[in-house]
Structure 1
Amino acid sequence: MTDPLTKYPRPPFPAQPQSFPGKTPKMEPEPDHGEESYKGAGKLTGKAALITGGDSGIGRAVAIAYAREGADVAIAYLPEEQADAEAVGQWIEKAGKRALLLPGDIKDAAFAREIVDRTAREFGRLDVLVNNAAFQEPNRGLDALDDAVFEKHFRTNVFGSFYATKAALAHLPPGGSVIFTSSVNSKHPMPTLMAYSATKGALSNMVLSLAQLLAEKGIRVNGVLPGPIWTPFIPSGMSQDAVKTFGSQVPFDRPGQPAELASAYVMLAAEESSYTSGALITVAGAMPVL
């Protein structure tokens, strides 16, 4: 048994500026995505999954976990993240499953449709869609928040998820699962992340609406609300002062690691959760989210 308070590194962390979306190998300490720790139990045997933003952070951890649970896994990612994506593909293949790498921009509706259709075509099916790709850029004040940056938040985080989910309806069978990565910011918006928080509020709302809308098709829709998680988003999307103390705001007094979220995504995709739809699951180191 491991004490969760001391299982992973705690702040303070060194300053480590990066440009968005950030690179995993440049982080100190490097995040844990379950590369050495996640043990599968066959919960997704025979299934096929598509994960947007699957090259790093939470998406990377989910991809590794899904492969070790028996699923073939496709990951979509920005072209500049090719090296990280190839590393994930290798982990998927080491688990004995097929990996499909899909570079492009989820803001593009045609690309969103293409990755869904190609996943179903290459794997012969699509059972799970994880809408995880996101953009984040902090703001100092409303007058300093550029219109184009505000729009980019919504086109990436909300529109991209909408495009992919709509396209997936042609392939998801009854029992299929759609999972959104929302955030505790959907319930506790941060003034310095106003645009990002607003998109996460929209995603949580979409989960609740879509769960009802797609119930008649037997498709389950759920969301995960991560708290502070140690991903490339942090050094590339926050001030360096915030990076140094990142995670100290929750009772566990440390950030979560991507590997610590994987089990939530596995549970929501698994057959054992057949009555779970419209759930928003918080993974935030004891942070109260109501």
Structure 2
Amino acid sequence: MSKPKEFPKQSQDQPGKQNEMNPKPEIIRADYKGSDKLKGKIALITGGDSGIGRSVAVHFAREGADVAIVYLSETEDAKKTKTLVEKEGQSCLLIKADLKKRNDCERVIKECMDTYIKLNILVNNAGVQFPKDSIEDVSMDDFDATYKTNIYPYFHLAKLSLAHLNSGDCIINTSSVTAYRGSSHLVDYASTKGAITSFTRSLAKQIADKNLRVNGVAPGPIWTPLIPATFDDVSDFGQDTPLGRAGQPSEVAPAYVFLASKDASYITGQFIHVNGGEIIGA
């Protein structure tokens, strides 16, 4: 993809709406060809209404999976995702839930199982961020919301899904480049992403003997609704990467397809870094 012009000025309230973004993110490449890598699989995707989550849902559908997506309040975006999944010939269950609440996490798993009977792939992806230049400006309300959204549900849903996952199934967690290099204006957010990284590696070791894989993707700057909903100026978003631009959800989702498929059958406890060229250590 060629380097784009600066993003136009825009602003949204969290959690952000994809249908109000300018330009609209690319969800899947027109020339992406599915090859039944996930045929017959059932995937549960949090934050699946927009951004990376929507892209993962559509890519999974093109690979033959039925999906259940969890969203907080963005009903219009969720319905659009459902339409895109059904256009691929697969079914899509919409589940509205506040994943900060354990009871909602339990309900999500129950609704997925009631509809599909089985679960093969859990994608933990939902997240929030509240940029602040100083830790002194981070309110405890925002700190709590960040942790209860970004890491608590990953733990709860992984724990609850284990009763339904079978040999060869997997969990995929979304971390961030900020977990590896830090972020001066996202101290609390980056620390939750670090927690996700350690959680992924530890759970992978714990359940490897069941032939269940746990991996993750650590995106860099990707053009999603979270960006205009949390940053005042998006004009140069992503231009400090080696590739000189922000990434699109369509460039991240194939990493999830790989990790969910048999192609990654000997991979667990690992992260794929889709970040525009930033070199990341272990």
- How many Å separate the matches in 1 of 2:167 and 2:110? 18
- 1:159 paired to 2:164: no
1:120 corresponds in structure 2 to: 113
Deviations 1:197-218 (A, max 9, x none): 0000000011110100111221
Conservation of the 8 A alpha-carbon contact between 1:19 and 1:236: yes
Conservation of the 8 A alpha-carbon contact between 1:11 and 1:246: no
Q: Give the AA of the match of 2:75.
A: Q
- How many Å separate the matches in 2 of 1:11 and 1:131? 32
Residue 33 (structure 2) aligned to one of 35, 39, 48? 39
Runs of 4+ residues over 4 Å off in structure 1: none
The change in CA–CA distance for 1:45 and 1:185 in structure 2 (over 3 A counts) is same
Superposition deviation, residue 159 in structure 1: 0.2
- TM-score, normalising length: structure 2: 0.97
2:280 corresponds in structure 1 to: 289
1:271 corresponds in structure 2 to: 262
Conservation of the 8 A alpha-carbon contact between 1:78 and 1:103: yes
Deviations 1:65-88 (A, max 9, x none): 001100010000012x00000000
Deviations 1:146-204 (A, max 9, x none): 00100111100000111111100010011111000000000011111111100000000
2:50 corresponds in structure 1 to: 56
Q: Secondary structure at the match of 1:19?
A: coil
- How many Å separate the matches in 1 of 2:84 and 2:31? 12
- How many Å separate the matches in 2 of 1:154 and 1:119? 24
- How many Å separate the matches in 2 of 1:36 and 1:237? 29
- How many Å separate the matches in 1 of 2:186 and 2:64? 37
After superposition, where does 1:188-227 map in structure 2 within 5 Å?
A: 188-227=181-220
Tell me how large the CA RMSD over aligned residues is.
1.1
- 1:97 paired to 2:90: yes
2:241 corresponds in structure 1 to: 250
Conservation of the 8 A alpha-carbon contact between 1:102 and 1:115: yes
Unaligned runs of 5+ in 2: none
Unaligned runs of 5+ in 1: none
1:77 corresponds in structure 2 to: 71
Superposition deviation, residue 35 in structure 1: 6.7
Superposition deviation, residue 287 in structure 1: 1.2
Conservation of the 8 A alpha-carbon contact between 1:135 and 1:153: yes
- How many Å separate the matches in 1 of 2:230 and 2:189? 11
Superposition deviation, residue 259 in structure 1: 0.5
Deviations 1:241-270 (A, max 9, x none): xx1110111011110000111110000000
- How many Å separate the matches in 2 of 1:90 and 1:36? 16
Superposition deviation, residue 37 in structure 1: 4.4
- TM-score, normalising length: structure 1: 0.94
- 1:181 paired to 2:206: no
Deviations 1:41-87 (A, max 9, x none): 100000000000000000000000001100010000012x0000000
Q: Give the AA of the match of 1:24.
A: Q
Conservation of the 8 A alpha-carbon contact between 1:11 and 1:254: no
Aligned pair count? 281
